[in-house]
Amino acid sequence: MNVVSLIGNLASDVDLREVGADKKVASFLLAVDRQGKDSGADFVRVSTWERQAEICAEYLTKGRRIALDGRLRSHSWEEEGKRRSAVEVVAHRVEFLPGAGQSGGEVVPFEAAVA
């Protein structure tokens, strides 16, 4: 089963791009705090598609706290003669969490179809 749930803060602004005919993808980095002796943060590349991508690009900015559910996706490519690979989270549900001085959370008003 390929299921990921994360809570963290955006470490970058959302980058919204068009790919192909009428398809949109938003991507950003999410900083997820580590617990225990190994304190610090892990930085995870996240992407989301279609209407959810548009909503994230409109409302999310660097530093905003969110929770998300999604799946892992790995891909690889050649760069300067070396094989590279990366893993990202494809989010199908994003919840905007309250920051300092805010109350309540906002849920993006739909869940993207899980492909």
Which amino acid is located at 80 in the chain? E
Lookup result for tokens 């580590």: 34
pLDDT above 70 for 100: no
* DSSP SS3 for 74: strand
pTM of this structure: 0.81
Alpha helices in 1-115 (DSSP H): 50-59
Q: Which of 1-5, 48-52, 86-90, 101-105 has the lowest mean pLDDT?
A: 101-105
Domains of the chain in start order, with CATH, are: 4-107 (2.40.50.140)
Q: pLDDT tens digits, residue range 39-91?
A: 889 999 999 999 999 999 999 999 999 999 999 999 898 988 999 999 999 99
For the cut 80, the answer to whether the pLDDT of residue 111 exceeds it is: no
Which amino acid, one-letter code, is at 69?
Answer: D
Element (H, E) at 101: none
